[in-house]
A and B are shown apart, each in its own frame.
Chain A
């Protein structure tokens, strides 16, 4: 059951910048509900002997209210470049079935998992990070900065602790969209960029 993954990730959702769910259970999402997605670019990783370096996986979910209220519906999208062993391990890790903090987190906020899909998951970095998940999700983010060019950051927000993300840079996801036919379609505004280093 041992696994370790590290890399960079992108998150976006249907709320205006900044999604109030990041800051705790007291905030109401702008639309009353929240549709969100995470994309993970795994630079290094291993799960029970299976190398996960260079793989990509995305997660999308919808919640009827604030993220902390739970009752979410979610799906994983695993990059088609992954081998069968990698797909099995990535699905187990990112759905919380292989323990670690994701087990507790997703156990608390996701009630229904839709079947995982294998599709193209492409994550590009640089000045304007982008994520493409098959024909379902297309996102392009505009990192936010102060007049001196320093990245706008949030640290120690409640949901960051749940994801074990120390610091996140804010990035507008305006113009992005997510339209999985089995979930509510939404367009982005709030967005964040992070590094992760997770293990059991």
Chain B
């Protein structure tokens, strides 16, 4: 049951900057919140299966804020992964292998079947993502005129995802159009976050 992954998350949601759900309890700007999390796994291993360089994405549909729970979620796994990697990634992200995702298991009411798709994630100076034909976005990092990256640290809800620091980036124009989920366009909130998860 041992696994560990380190890497970067690129995130966008339907709320304005800053998504109030990260600071919850709060009312999302639309009353509801839909979010996409793109996981770029730089290093990883799960029970002997190397996960380094794999990619996964998560769509979350919430009727209110995060503390009110997630009503529907779907995991997308990059088509470049092997069947062993897909099995391990699905088990980890749906909470079956413990760790931070195991802790979130009760917060997610229903999982749609996992999909395999082409996933592109760029988490550097010009963050961007694409999930097949379903989702795409380009983010603009928020920086001062002197070039300092704007950050949100120790946000109460981000802690549930094991994230300490959100590097804030505007997500205007990003979209998520899964036919089985509420379609949404980004309200402006976006972030790039480092993770170090294990279970």
Contacts and interface: CB of A to CB of B under 8 A. Distances in A.
A contact face: mostly helix, strand, loop, or mixed: loop
Interface string B52-78: 000000000000000000000000000
A159 to B, nearest CB: 10
B150 A146 contact: no
A156 B23 contact: no
A156 B165 CA distance: 13
Contacts of A157: 142, 144, 150, 168
A144 to B, nearest CB: 6
A23 B156 CA distance: 19
Interface in A109-140: none
Interface string B6-26: 000000000011101001001
B154 A153 contact: yes
Nearest to A158: B144
Chain B: interface residue count, which band?
Answer: 20 to 34
Contact of B152 (A16, A26, A148, A152): A152
Contacts of B151: 153-156
Contacts of B137: none
Given A28-B16, A153-B152, A17 B146 contact: no
B114 to A, nearest CB: 29
Nearest to B151: A155
A16 B150 CA distance: 19
A78 to B, nearest CB: 30
Chain A: interface residue count, which band?
Answer: 20 to 34
Contact of A16 (B20, B143, B159, B160): B20
Given A156-B144, A156-B149, A23 B154 contact: no
Nearest to B149: A156
A154 B170 contact: no
Nearest to A152: B154
A165 to B, nearest CB: 11
B79 interface: no
A144 B17 contact: no
Contacts of A92: none
A3 to B, nearest CB: 23
Contacts of B148: 155-156, 161
B47 interface: no
Contacts of B122: none
B144 to A, nearest CB: 4
Given A23-B142, A157-B142, A151 B26 contact: no
Q: Which 4 A-B pairs have the closest CB atoms?
A: A156-B148, A146-B154, A161-B144, A150-B154
Given A146-B154, A150-B153, 16 more contacts: A17-B20, A17-B26, A18-B18, A20-B16, A23-B168, A24-B142, A145-B154, A145-B156, A152-B154, A152-B155, A153-B151, A154-B152, A155-B148, A155-B153, A157-B142, A170-B23
